[in-house]
Amino acid sequence: MWLAFLVVHAWLLVLGVYLRPAQTFWDLDLYRWWMWQGLHQGTWPVLDGPWVYPVGALVPMLTAATGGADSTSGYALAWSLWATAFNAVGLVALLHAPRVVGHRHIERTTAGAWWWIGFTALLGPVAMGRLDAVVAPVVIGALVVALRHPRVASALLTAGAWVKAAPGALLLALVVVVRRPWREVVLPAALVCAGVVAFVVLAGGREHLLSFLTEQDERGLQIEAVGATPWVLASLVDRDVNVELNAELITWEVHGPGAQGASDTLGVLFVVGIALAGLFLWWCARRLGPRLWSDDTARAQLLVRGSLLVATLLIVLNKVGSPQYIGWIAPPVAVALALRLPGWRATAWFVAAIAGATQLIFPWGYPQITSEGVAMTLLLAGRNLALVVLTALVVLDLVREARAPHYAVSVVGSSDEGALVPEPRLKHQRDAQPS
């Protein structure tokens, strides 16, 4: 397994650093430039001006500067090595996830870890050469420990949100599966936020602390966004609809009748949709009732499926679309497989297919999309449709599990505390159950 892990990451490193850097890792050069300005000119994002990322993104970007902020290849190499190290930590977390459904004495499953390696290979260079590569292992770690150590999970997700905002939304799934949400989720998150805010204020960046929330407002409807799909398809046949480069923001956007209105509408739907997802997860928890606390498998399902729902909505309702966003939906799937949760095989294959399609779109087919090539445009539309279908399937799964018959499970003590084990029902099963 570790050999496969190293081969995949070595290939992505060679591809992004040496073979196709401008085509695959060009975001890293922007990171390098920001760090060069900070180290050589004393001008730091957030601390000295607005930024598209939260202030925590400075940490991995500055860490990669060990390879040289004045060297494009050196910076990219250091970033790739650090990203590989972070991903290795995520892999270890998957390999040590709690054992599920009565298998206390067998080895932990490697399904989640293998799937994570495969997903990384399928998603391609953006799985390493973007800021999201640092955040994904943090989310994996948070979901793995969430049921046993919700405070740690809350702190990890909040810390991840100060690097890239998306992990913070997964707190909506965590808060409904804990008994004391204020103490176990809200308080740890608040403490992490307090530490970040204190640092920024003391460093003189108070005015720009939340600039990442508004810096995206000027973006139009980006061609990869799910909501842009009708216009992207229309651009193939309608000369009034165009795919154009926003040179200031360096993004490709669609322009045509209704495009700006759709962009504005998505800005509202994004907030409303995430809020409704939180209410829906609260309903699922209420529908489970006492099962939520007596059936740890049901609780784990609500956590990871709820996380997948939120992560998918962050993509589907976003007017900004980027290939690395697909990495947001991977951690819940990998953790579900690592926990041996039932009913995830089809979801795992579906998400893997989405990742593979995304790599074909970016970087390999992106020039065809921006030049209105038919084949790649249709593939992009199909990928976006798959994301919508995935959202619907996750909702249906959550409803079905909330209404499923009760099958109680208990948490085994001793060294395997936190492993999910079904409560024995038959006499001979009770006799065979280890004490």
What is d(CA 395, CA 280) in angstroms, rounded to the nearest whole number? 9
Mean pLDDT across the stretch 268-297?
95
Residue 419: what pLDDT?
Answer: 37
pLDDT of 406 over the 90 cut? no
Mean pLDDT, the chain, rounded, equals 90
Q: What is the pLDDT of residue 105?
A: 59
Assess whether pLDDT exceeds 50 at residue 429.
Answer: no
The tokens for 269 are 């739907």
Contacts of 26 (CB under 8 A, 6+ apart): none
Residue 40 is given by DSSP the state I
CB 17 within 8 A of CB 76: yes
Residue 54: DSSP 8-state: -
Q: Does the pLDDT value for residue 317 go beyond 50?
A: yes
Evaluate if residue 100 carries a pLDDT over 90: no
pLDDT band at 300 (very low <50, low <70, confident <90, very high): very high
Given pLDDT bands bounded at 50, 70 and 90, which one contains residue 428? very low
Query: 420 pLDDT exceeds 80?
Result: no
Query: What is the average per-residue pLDDT within 37-59?
Result: 96
pLDDT over threshold 50, residue 85: yes
Cβ pair 147, 177 in contact under 8 A: yes
Pick from 51, 21, 20: nearest CA to 34: 51
pTM: 0.91
Model confidence at 385: pLDDT above 90 = yes
Mean pLDDT for the stretch of residues 391-410 = 81
The predicted structure's pLDDT at residue 374: 95
C-beta atoms surrounding 353 within 10 Å: 13
pLDDT band at 108 (very low <50, low <70, confident <90, very high): confident
Strand partners, 242: 255
What pLDDT does residue 426 have? 36
Mean of pLDDT values over 170-195: 97
Q: Is residue 214 predicted with pLDDT exceeding 90?
A: no
Band (pLDDT 50/70/90 cuts) for residue 104 is low
Residue type, 46: V
Query: What is the rounded CA–CA span in Å between residue 197 and residue 378?
Result: 44
pLDDT of 220 > 90? The answer is: no
Tell me if 157 sits within 8 A of 151, measured CB to CB.
no
% of residues, the chain, pLDDT over 90:
83
Given a cut of 50, whether residue 401 has pLDDT beyond it is yes
Angstrom distance (rounded) from CA 366 to CA 371? 9
Q: What number is the average pLDDT over the span 295-315?
A: 96
**Separation between Cα atoms, residue 406 and residue 423, nearest integer Å:** 11
pLDDT average, residue stretch 256-270: 94
Q: Assess whether pLDDT exceeds 50 at residue 399.
A: yes
Q: Are 159 and 56 in contact (CB under 8 A)?
A: yes
Which pLDDT value is given to residue 433?
35
126 in helix, strand or coil? helix
Percent of the chain with pLDDT over 70: 91
pLDDT of residue 427: 36
